Every structure is written in structure tokens, then in C-alpha cells.
Amino acid sequence: MFSFQANDLSIESQWRAIILFGKNSATYKFGFAKALLELVDKEKTNISLGDLAVPFAKSIIDHVTTNDKQGNSNSSKFLDVCRKYIKGEINDSILFSSTEKLGFVNVIDAFQNVNGSVVPNKFYEKNFANGKKEIVITDELLKLKEKYQFQNLDQEVDARWKLVETAWNLQINPSLLEVKYDENKSLFFIENDFMKRVDITSVRDSLNGYQKGKCFYSFQDISINKSSSNICEVDHFLPHSNKLIHSKHGANINGVWNLVLADGDINLEKRARIPDLKYLDRLYARNEFYIESKHPLAETIINQTGLLKQHRRAFLQKHYDLSRSLSIQTWKPSIELKATF
């Protein structure tokens, strides 16, 4: 099942729980996450706020430049500093010293909290004793660096960040929100009230964390890194070839609800065949997993498939049955590892 359950204590899942399910009153946690990933990749273990300030500020600046709103608060001294830097009113030295003073007021204490409790295995400890202002990286973050999925985590953080800030900056009524899929560019995008397209982020980057970096069908590790020889494919669970028929019955086959990530060889093997019925239950669970995470993909899936759980399940069954009626047989992957979620 696609959920971060109590019995799923892998360090990859604990990290993803922070990114995908932690509170989003501001986007500082995403900048902090990217700074942690960068610095641990450089083998740093005792990290001063001065060390953190450089990658943290650079990430925030990159996002403020394109999306000014980075939180729910009406004012922020730290974001005002970032805006001054973007305008050329202050230099690097002032930016980084101000970041050290203002940028970490809440994020260090709040980052490792998910749904009111701290993750079981902390990725760092705060050390502000005896005049020090630093964090100490734990073995858990060092272990995470050695995991296959580490290569995907920075892109996943950025994708989640872009989804959150886009929803804030466009100020679209959630009931009207629809994140759309550009199949040619493999991008998610939104159209605003003036029908202007706003590209958000890569489909692979957005979906991978919710599949825990695994192929939807086979549970093999997959990569979203373009330089990887094992980069995954975006697959239509119900075949794209039947899109007109599904459209006549009220479904957009290019909708987020129908998109999954698959190992390249498995996707080639599947082609336009209908997955076995058991995978429909997996798709339903995956979609509910999105909805629990409270962001634009969640609203989009609700808008595409139904307000209530029973409506969404009935929607999937209806369109599965429709596809099944057009197919001779169902399909299962030649490889299927034991589920780890």
C-alpha cells in the first residue's frame, strides 16, 4: 500500500514523509532540505549556521525570483532580505549573514516533525550549547547518502516545492484547480484565469516520492535522473490509445489519476495492455496517498475522479471495466519484487 505506515521505518520513507507530509506554512523546509542534501554529499557532519546559510539562501533566492510568495505570512524579514538581494540592493556577505540570523528561526526545530511528532530516526541534532550554533549530522543522514534513492531526493524536494508555491502564487480556487500533463515534454502545468500556461515541474520528479522510488508494477528501484541508464518511464495505467472512448464517459486519460512511473523494460513489456485487476487496487491506494498529502495534485485528482472515496473507487472501476471490455486479456509484469510499502 502506498502510505508511510508505522511499520515502514526505512530512512528513505522517513525523509520523504518530511518532504511530502510535513506542514507547509512556508517553503523554508524545502530550502533547508536541499541545503542538507548538498552539504552531506560533501561529507560535512558538523554544520554551522554559516555553512547552512549559503546553499539555503541560494535555493530560496532561486524560487523567490520566479514565485515571490513563499509562505502564508503577510510579512517576512528574511524574505525581504532576499528581495533586496534580487534587486541588487545588498551583496552576498549581507545576504548570508542575514540568512544566518533570520532564516533558521523555526525551520531547524520544525523540520523533522511530521503530523505532530518527530520522525523516529533524526537526520541531525541541534547543538546551540556554549555559544555554538550548529547542527550535527547523524548516522541516519549519512546512511541515506549511500542509498540508491539518494540520487532522486533533490529533484523530489524541488518538485514538491514548485507545486506548493505555484498553488500559493496563482491563488486558484482548489475546486477549480487542474494540474495538466504535457506528454511531449513530460511536464505538469497549470493554466491561469487568462489561459496562460504556467509550467510547474517534471512529472517524474513529482510522482517518484509517492511511489518511494519504485516501479509501480514490479517494485524495482527506478531513477528520475536524466543521466541515469535506468531512468523510469511515465506510463498510462489505462491505455492512452483508448482516450477518446474514456473521454466520452467523462474521464481524461492524461489525468494525474492515471499516470504512474514504471521501469523502462517493464513499461516496454506492458505496452497498451490492461494491468491485472489487483493493480487497480494499487492505483486507488496511490491516488489516496496523494490526496492525504494536501497539495495541487491532490486537488486535481479529486476534481478528476470524485469528491468522496467511494466516488473515486467507483470512477476507477468504471473506467477499468471500460478498458477491459476493449482488451482480450490482462497483463502482469514478468518481474515483481516483494512490496516494501
% of the chain with per-residue pLDDT over 90: 69
User: If you average pLDDT over residues 121-131, what whole number do you get?
Assistant: 93
Give the rounded distance of the alpha carbon of 127 from its chain centre. 30
Q: How confident is the model at residue 21 (pLDDT cuts 50, 70, 90)?
A: confident
Question: Does 188 share its domain with 288?
Answer: yes
The closest of 236, 240, 243 to 217, measured between CA atoms, is: 236
Helix (H, G, I), strand (E, B) or coil at 237: coil
Q: Which three cell numbers stand for residue 170?
A: 496563482
* Inside any domain, residue 204: yes
Best CA proximity match to 162, nearest among 49, 21, 63, 47: 63
- Could you tell me if 286 and 316 are in contact, meaning their C-beta atoms sit under 8 angstroms apart? no
- Report whether pLDDT(23) > 90: no
- Does the pLDDT at position 6 exceed 50? no
Beta strands in the chain (DSSP E): 46-48, 113-114, 117-118, 124-127, 134-137, 180-182, 187-191, 197-202, 233-236, 259-262, 274-275, 330-331
| pLDDT per residue as tens digits for the range 187-201 | 988 876 655 787 888
Length of the chain equals 341
pLDDT tens per residue across span 92-105: 999 999 999 999 98
Residue with cell 547542527: 135
CA-derived radius of gyration, the chain? 21
CA distance 19 to 170: 22
Count the helices and strands in the chain (H runs, E runs). 14, 12
Of the three residues 96, 115, 145, the one that is the final residue of a domain is: 145
Number of domains making up the chain:
2
Q: Is the pTM of this model over 0.75?
A: yes
Summarised one tens digit per residue, pLDDT across range 31-69 is: 999 999 999 998 889 999 999 999 999 999 999 999 998
227 with 305, same domain? yes
Based on the domain organization, do 75 and 203 belong to the same domain?
A: no
Are 177 and 324 found together in one domain?
yes
Domain boundary among 145, 180, 215: 145
Q: Do 260 and 216 fall within a single domain?
A: yes
Q: What is the mean pLDDT of residues 193-221?
A: 87
In a domain, 259, yes or no: yes
Residue 306 lies in a domain: yes
Residue 114: domain span? 11-145
Q: Residues 55, 121: one domain?
A: yes
In a domain, 99, yes or no: yes
- Taking only the tens place, the pLDDT of each residue in 153-186 is 999 999 999 988 887 777 665 555 678 899 899 9
Do β-strands 46-48 and 187-191 pair in parallel, antiparallel, or remain unpaired? Answer: unpaired
Task: Give domain status of residue 313, yes or no.
Answer: yes
| Same-domain pairing of 88 and 211 | no
Round to whole Å and give the CA distance between 151 and 235: 21
Closest of 157, 191, 180, 151 to residue 63, by C-alpha: 157
- Whether 5 is in a domain gets the answer no
- Mean pLDDT for the stretch of residues 254-272: 95
Phi, psi dihedrals of residue 5, rounded to the nearest 5°:
-85, 165
- 208 shares a domain with 106: no
Residue 336 domain flag: no
pLDDT in tens, 289-306: 888 876 668 888 999 999
Q: How far apart are the first and last CA of the chain?
A: 5
Please check whether residues 104 and 212 belong to one and the same domain.
Answer: no
341 in any annotated domain = no
Instruction: Determine the average pLDDT of the residues in 307-322.
Output: 97
Give the domain-ending residue among 114, 145, 176: 145
Query: What's the pLDDT score for residue 169?
Result: 77
Encoded amino acid at 122, one letter: K
The verdict on 207 and 63 lying in the same domain is no
In terms of domains, do 127 and 181 share one? Answer: no
Give per-residue burial for 18-33: e unless 16+ CB within 10 Å, then b: bbbbbebebbbbbbbb
